[in-house]
């Protein structure tokens, strides 16, 4: 085997509850898990892996606020300052009239801003390159990947650890970084 790339040990899990317990026991042994890949969202996996809650909702709020400001600036600039006109007997700054457009612009920018941020931080883009440890991880298997170099245990010991924690298979995989 040539030495290019990073060597991983991967554990294949069939069941999400076995996987969750395995994550806890493997981490309790001081093993650093690179990432877990699942075909569907497994509830409670973030806390087991020690991930913090995503701050994307804050991004959504900020973009939404930007949308509100942009909409109001646009409408006040156009109908109050640039070309004031009385429509339906309302004054030059008819705020209730601005509600629908302001609301729509808030939602539009909030949604697009948040999704855009999600794509950028998760490196999702058309023809992006997936990290595929095992092709079955988008079908029916959960894959736990452990980078050998980042841990003190040997490859064989890691495999044994995964097997003892319910992995149906424990394989080696060379990934080019």
Partner 1 sequence: MHVESKLRKPLITGGKTLHDVSEDICKRVEQKPSLYWYAAMIISNITLIVGAYAVYRTLWDGIGMWGLNKTVMWAWDITNFVWWVGIGHAGTLISAILLLFRQRWRMAINRSAEAMTIFAVICAAMFPLLHMGRLWIGLIWVLPLPNTYGSLWVNFASPLLWDVFAITTYFSVSLVFWYIGLIPDFATIRDRAKKAGRKVSAYIYGGLSFGWDGAAKTWSRYETVSLVLAGLATPLVLSVHTIVSMDFATSVIPGWHTTIFPPYFVAGAIFSGFAMVLTLLIITRKVYNLEDYITIKHLELMNIVIIVTGSIVGIAYLTELFMAWYSGVAYEQYAFYNRVTGPYWWAYWSMMTCNVISPQLFWFKKIRTNIVATFIISIIVNIGMWFERFVIIVTSLHRDYLPSSWAMFYPTIYDLGMYIFTFGLFFTAFLAFSKYFPVINMAEVKSILKHTGEKVKK
Distance, in Å, from the CA atom of 69 to the CA atom of 109, rounded to the nearest integer, reads: 11
Distance, in Å, from the CA atom of 157 to the CA atom of 30, rounded to the nearest integer, reads: 13
- Least Cα distance to 13 among 117, 173, 141 occurs for 141
Cα 29–Cα 13–Cα 24 angle in degrees, nearest 5: 25
Residue 141: phi and psi, rounded to 5, are -120, 145
Query: Which range in 2-10, 45-53, 148-156, 168-176 contacts partner 1 by CB under 8 A?
Result: 45-53
Among 103, 154, 160, 164, binds partner 1 (CB under 8 A): 103
Among 91, 92, 100, 150, binds partner 1 (CB under 8 A): 100
**Binding track, positions 141-160, relative to partner 1; x by CB under 8 A:** --------------------
- The yes or no reply on residue 124 touching partner 1 (CB under 8 A) is yes
For partner 1, the closer CB: 28 or 135:
135
> Which of positions 9-38 make contact with partner 1 (CB under 8 A)?
15-17, 35-38
Least distance (Å) between residue 157 CB and partner 1: 24
- Burial-class residue 148 by CB neighbours within 10 Å (0-12, 13-18, 19+): middle
- The yes or no reply on residue 93 touching partner 1 (CB under 8 A) is no
Distance, in Å, from the CA atom of 129 to the CA atom of 35, rounded to the nearest integer, reads: 16
Query: Could you tell me if 30 and 162 are in contact, meaning their C-beta atoms sit under 8 angstroms apart?
Result: no
- The yes or no reply on residue 91 touching partner 1 (CB under 8 A) is no
Among 6, 7, 42, 68, binds partner 1 (CB under 8 A): 42
């Amino acid at each position: 085997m040539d030495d290019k790339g990073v060597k991983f040990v991967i554990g294949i899990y069939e069941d999400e509850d076995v996987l969750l317990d395995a994550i806890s026991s493997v981490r309790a042994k001081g093993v650093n898990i690179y990432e877990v890949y699942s075909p569907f969202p497994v509830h409670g996996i973030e806390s087991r892996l020690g991930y913090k809650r995503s701050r994307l909702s804050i991004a959504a709020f900020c973009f939404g606020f930007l949308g509100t400001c942009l909409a109001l600036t646009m409408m006040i600039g156009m109908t109050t300052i640039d070309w004031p006109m009385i429509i339906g007997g309302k004054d030059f700054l008819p705020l209730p009239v601005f509600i629908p457009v302001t609301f729509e612009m808030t939602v539009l920018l909030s949604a697009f801003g948040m999704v855009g941020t999600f794509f950028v931080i998760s490196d999702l883009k058309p023809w992006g390159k997936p990290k595929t440890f095992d092709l079955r991880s988008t079908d029916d298997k959960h894959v736990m990947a452990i980078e050998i170099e980042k841990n003190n245990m040997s490859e064989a010991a890691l495999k044994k650890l995964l097997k003892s924690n319910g992995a149906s298979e424990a394989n080696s995989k060379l990934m080019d970084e």
